[in-house]
Amino acid sequence: MLYIDKIIETMPYGKTKPIKVKASDGEVYVVKFRKDNIARKDRSITNEFIAYRLIENLEWEIAPLPLELIQIDTTALELAEDAFIDPLSLAYMKESLGVNVAIPYIDNCEKAEGEIENQNFIKHLRTIDNVLLNDDRDIENPNILKDQTASNRYYAIDWGLAMDSTDVYKDIKTGNISTRMMYFQTCNVVRRPEYILRGNLTRVTLKSQEIEGIIHEIIEEIPQEWETYSDRAHLEEILCARAVSKKIFE
């Protein structure tokens, strides 16, 4: 578990107002809060946790890795009071005591503009986005960074609105998940009109036995203090079904 040693700034992108910090291991990270502007129920942070862990386990080099868990404690809040960060960052941070996530900060990156040229990156990103029910990538906000120092190098970020804009969690809590399960197991979100890579049909075929074991381990690692911990059986069922389904790419 990491701790915050220094708060550097609020990141210039992201509606959830993540912050850039120096952590107890001496490295610089982007901290995303468990209580942000998305329902404040540990849902977006659970999406981030699952996405980055899955990409790491599959050894796909399409995102800043590895994701770490980081503790926001009273010492971190004292640092935040003296830091020049966005007032919303401070507000979310105060509500987010406990376990949060930290993503390695990568220098020399800017928001990707125009056509994405790396076909290998595209097929891996379309696959992970569809498995995780994430269509939150459009022309205005692709949630893709372009490395300014390396030709054709991209990084995908931000799965906060995965799981169908977090509706999966809502339906679990309200008891509607049984009536929505077929939809969640079969819908193709990367063919939706606004999704930036909808015109590209490439994907990665995942092996059933391997991916199901990986998903199980990741779901069981969801921190117990997060509200979504109790949702893990439904999450595993949906993700395992989507990971091996051909229908979601039809």
Q: Are residues 157 and 77 in the same domain?
A: no
The structure tokens listed for 95 are: 């509500």
Residue-level pLDDT at 164: 97
Distance from C-alpha of 67 to C-alpha of 140, rounded to nearest angstrom: 26
Residue-level pLDDT at 13: 81
Condensed to tens digits (0 to 9), the pLDDT of residues 211-249 reads 999 999 999 999 999 999 999 999 999 999 999 999 999
Residue-level pLDDT at 156: 98
Instruction: Tell which of 58, 83, 104 closes a domain.
Output: 104
Residue-level pLDDT at 151: 84
Q: Contact, 148 vs 110, CB < 8 A? A: yes
Task: State phi, psi for 215 to the nearest 5 degrees.
Answer: -60, -40
Q: Are residues 51 and 117 in the same domain?
A: no
Condensed to tens digits (0 to 9), the pLDDT of residues 47-71 reads 999 999 999 999 999 999 999 999 9
Domain containing residue 227: 109-249
- Positions of E strands within the chain: 2-10, 19-23, 28-32, 68-72, 98-104, 109-111, 144-147, 154-156
Q: What is the pTM of this model?
A: 0.97
Q: Are residues 226 and 178 in the same domain?
A: yes
- In the chain, % of residues over pLDDT 70: 100
Instruction: Tell which of 104, 127, 143 closes a domain.
Output: 104
Residue-level pLDDT at 140: 93
Residue-level pLDDT at 209: 86
Q: Are residues 81 and 177 in the same domain?
A: no
Q: Are residues 122 and 87 in the same domain?
A: no
Q: Are residues 155 and 98 in the same domain?
A: no
Strands 154-156, 144-147: pairing kind: antiparallel
Q: Are residues 123 and 242 in the same domain?
A: yes
Q: Are residues 117 and 218 in the same domain?
A: yes
In this prediction, the residues of the chain whose per-residue pLDDT falls under 50 are none
Q: Are residues 99 and 12 in the same domain?
A: yes
Residue-level pLDDT at 150: 87
Residue-level pLDDT at 155: 98
